[in-house]
RNA sequence: GCAGCAGUAGCUCAGUUGGUUAGAGCACUAGUUUGUGGAACUAGGGGUCGGUGGUUCGAAUCCACCCUGCUGUACCA
């Protein structure tokens, strides 16, 4: 006799994908509602594009042209390769190129959407996450760049962050561009390695970055990273140039002037902001949190930025002949939410239902009429969803954090006075049905 | 991707000169005479000891490879 073993389906999730609990979702909803209000106030259009795009629509113009397929989830249709979008900027460029003649110029749109990246996940970093993007397409005005920073700032503050808890760091691609001219780097790979190295100044410090600009660097674990192989004199020029405390480029001076007009000051110039992207052409920004973020074991972790962006004047042009200079910013919503959850003072009101206990199925009509009264008063209410002893019903109510239970058994029904038990204090009172709503409101 | 460390019940972990049916706390389920939660007590369920192969009479324990997690690093549109 043979017994076939049944393979049980796996209850594990794919690497980098997570279930999200109510607490997180409610904070996320709160953040999203703030975003929408601010975006409407700033006059942006709401847009949604599909999760999948043809790979070449979003892949061909990837900044790292040397590895266009890396990091993206893709599958082959009968005819073409499709990819899950990895950000909202590439689809926007595609959308603008496709609808160029119909859209207003400039085009201001915002978008909320899930994006997917086939990369190694870490604390607060997943392979599926929600992003928020706001972009101006079709304007060279630096007013747009400045306004993006102002708007992000307003969103963060509405979400409960104080000016001391975040900062917008700003630099410009013009700075590194001029630098590359000065030291005459035209080798693209060398430029990329140099940019990536400079991006790490705040984390590693100059000494380590110099190694990356030169031969390379060995990290704590013993792993070796190849360097850009620049000459010592060039490295010195770079260090001197980037250590300047104020920008020498026209674009940033203008942006800072506009900030003044806006009375916006929660930013700082930081020439080490690079954003690793090849397509940025002007001002670039990064949104950083200034309070400690801990992992689920209570250890403070390197959290990095929660968002960023910049000017990309050539991206739309890649799709055709339309010249549409643009600038945009994006926020990793899940990362922002993860950070907000750590703020002790941050509380989201959750209304949990008052539970009406069931003594006898035959009395259901009574329970439904009580439930109706409460629900009509907009009080979250439920009749215990099951058939259990009273004790189990109480345990259930306790578990779901119900504020109160209503006991309405034979005794109470005789006098038409339900018993209301406050689950926090444990106090019970007997109330007239018409007083029930008022008494419950006192508890909630 | 690279490197270091780790992987025993849902969770936190104990368990070495390799030796009989693998443990605790919390959680879970049922009960403590049945109309009362968050306390206590009793009983119970639950583990191919991350996976596969190897060494051995015998492996949670030793070896190899793989998978997963953590930390750093790389990449990050």
CA of A124 to C1' of B22 (A): 36
The closest of A400, A286, A406, A292 to A339, measured between CA atoms, is A292
- CA-based angle A333:A136:A201, to the nearest 5? 60
Q: Identify nearest nucleotide to residue A410 by CA to C1′ distance.
A: B35
ipTM for the predicted complex: 0.83
The closest of A275, A238, A358 to A87, measured between CA atoms, is A275
Q: Identify nearest nucleotide to residue A428 by CA to C1′ distance.
A: B36
CA of A317 to C1' of B26 (A): 60
- Token pair, residue A145, equals 């760049």
CA of A75 to C1' of B49 (A): 39
CA of A41 to C1' of B19 (A): 75
Non-local (6+) Cβ contacts of A5 within 8 A are: none
- The gap from C-alpha A374 to its chain's centroid, in whole angstroms, comes to 37
Q: What is the DSSP string of A336-355?
A: HHHHHHT-TT-----PPPEE
| Residue A279, pLDDT score | 82
Task: Reply yes or no: is the peptide bond before residue A247 cis, omega within 30 of 0.
Answer: no
Q: Identify nearest nucleotide to residue A308 by CA to C1′ distance.
A: B77
CA of A56 to C1' of B39 (A): 64
Q: What span, in angstroms and rounded, lies between the C-alpha atoms of A38 and A51?
A: 25
CA of A202 to C1' of B71 (A): 19
Contact A17, A47 (CB under 8 A): no
* DSSP 8-state class, residue A127: S
List the beta bridge partners of residue A296.
none
Q: Which domains does chain A have, with CATH numbers?
A: 22-185+230-341 (3.30.930.10), 354-443 (3.40.50.800)
CA of A219 to C1' of B4 (A): 11
The closest of A238, A241, A237 to A249, measured between CA atoms, is A241
Q: What span, in angstroms and rounded, lies between the C-alpha atoms of A391 and A280?
A: 63
Q: Where are the beta strands (DSSP E) in A210-304?
A: 216-218, 224-226, 267-269, 283-289
Q: Identify nearest nucleotide to residue A86 by CA to C1′ distance.
A: B77
- Token pair, residue A434, equals 């018409």
* DSSP 8-state class, residue A10: P
Bases in strand B with any atom closer than 7 Å to a protein CB: 1-4, 28-31, 34-38, 68-77
Burial of A18 per CB tally in 10 Å (0-12, 13-18, 19+): middle
**Closest CA-bearing residue to C1' of B12:** A297
Q: Identify nearest nucleotide to residue A408 by CA to C1′ distance.
A: B35
CA of A199 to C1' of B38 (A): 52
Burial of A7 per CB tally in 10 Å (0-12, 13-18, 19+): exposed
- CA-based angle A97:A100:A106, to the nearest 5? 110
Q: Specify the residue for token string 């080798």.
A: A187
- Supply φ then ψ for residue A24, to 5 degrees: -65, -40
Q: What span, in angstroms and rounded, lies between the C-alpha atoms of A56 and A68?
A: 9
Q: What span, in angstroms and rounded, lies between the C-alpha atoms of A139 and A147?
A: 13
Q: What is the DSSP string of A46-110?
A: E----SEEEHHHHHTT-S-TTSTTTT--EEE-SSSEEEE-S-SHHHHHHHHHHTTTTS-SSEEEE
CA of A424 to C1' of B50 (A): 42
Q: What span, in angstroms and rounded, lies between the C-alpha atoms of A160 and A31?
A: 10
Q: Identify nearest nucleotide to residue A67 by CA to C1′ distance.
A: B75
Non-local (6+) Cβ contacts of A186 within 8 A are: A180
Q: Identify nearest nucleotide to residue A423 by CA to C1′ distance.
A: B37
Non-local (6+) Cβ contacts of A392 within 8 A are: A386
Q: What span, in angstroms and rounded, lies between the C-alpha atoms of A37 and A196?
A: 36
**pLDDT tens, per residue, chain A with 444 residues:** 333 334 566 677 777 888 888 888 889 999 999 999 999 999 999 999 999 998 888 864 333 434 445 678 877 777 777 888 989 999 999 999 999 999 999 999 999 999 988 887 776 778 888 999 999 999 999 999 999 999 999 999 999 999 999 999 999 999 988 888 888 887 777 888 888 888 888 888 888 898 889 888 877 766 778 888 888 889 999 988 888 888 778 999 999 999 999 999 999 998 888 886 678 899 999 998 888 777 666 666 667 788 899 999 988 888 877 889 999 999 999 888 888 887 766 777 778 999 999 999 899 999 999 999 999 999 999 999 988 899 999 999 999 999 999 999 988 999 999 999 999 999 999 999 999 999 999 998
């Amino acid at each position: 006799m043979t017994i076939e073993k049944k393979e049980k389906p796996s209850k594990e999730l794919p690497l980098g994908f997570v279930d999200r609990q109510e607490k997180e979702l409610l904070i996320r909803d709160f953040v999203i509602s703030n975003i929408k209000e601010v975006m409407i106030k700033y006059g942006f259009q709401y847009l949604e594009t599909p999760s999948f795009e043809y790979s070449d629509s979003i892949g061909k113009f990837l900044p790292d042209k040397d590895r266009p397929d890396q990091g993206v989830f893709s599958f082959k249709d009968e005819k073409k390769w499709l990819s899950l979008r990895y950000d909202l900027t590439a689809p926007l460029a595609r959308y603008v190129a496709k609808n160029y003649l119909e859209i207003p110029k400039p085009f201001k749109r915002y978008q909320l959407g899930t994006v997917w990246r086939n990369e190694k996940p870490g604390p607060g970093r997943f392979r599926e996450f929600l992003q928020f993007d706001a972009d101006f397409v079709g304007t060279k005005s630096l007013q747009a760049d400045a306004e993006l920073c102002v708007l992000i700032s307003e969103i963060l503050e509405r979400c409960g962050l104080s000016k001391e808890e975040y900062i917008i760091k700003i630099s410009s691609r013009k700075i590194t561009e001029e630098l590359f001219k000065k030291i005459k780097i035209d080798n693209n790979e060398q430029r990329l390695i140099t940019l990536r190295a400079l991006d790490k100044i705040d984390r590693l410090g100059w000494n380590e970055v110099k190694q990356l600009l030169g031969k390379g660097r060995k990290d704590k674990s013993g792993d070796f990273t190849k360097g850009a192989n620049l000459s010592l004199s060039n490295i010195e020029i770079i260090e001197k140039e980037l250590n300047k405390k104020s920008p020498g480029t026209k674009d940033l001076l203008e942006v800072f002037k506009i900030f003044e007009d806006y009375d916006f000051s929660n930013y700082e110039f930081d020439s080490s902001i690079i954003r690793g992207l090849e397509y940025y052409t002007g001002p670039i920004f990064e949104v950083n949190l200034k309070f400690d973020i801990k992992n689920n074991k209570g250890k403070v972790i390197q959290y990095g930025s929660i968002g960023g962006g910049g000017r990309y004047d050539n991206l739309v042009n890649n799709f055709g002949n339309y010249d549409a200079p643009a600038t945009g910013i994006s926020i990793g919503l899940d990362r922002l939410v993860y950070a907000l959850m750590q703020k002790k003072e941050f509380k989201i009101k959750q209304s949990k239902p008052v539970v009406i206990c069931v003594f006898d199925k035959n009395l259901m009509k009574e329970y439904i009429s009580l439930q109706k009264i409460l629900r009509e008063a907009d009080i979250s209410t439920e009749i215990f969803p099951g058939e259990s002893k009273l004790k189990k019903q109480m345990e259930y109510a306790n578990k779901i954090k119900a504020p109160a239970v209503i006991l309405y058994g034979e005794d109470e029904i005789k006098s038409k006075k339900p018993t209301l038990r406050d689950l926090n204090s444990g106090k019970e009172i007997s109330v007239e049905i018409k007083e029930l709503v008022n008494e419950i409101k006192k508890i909630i």
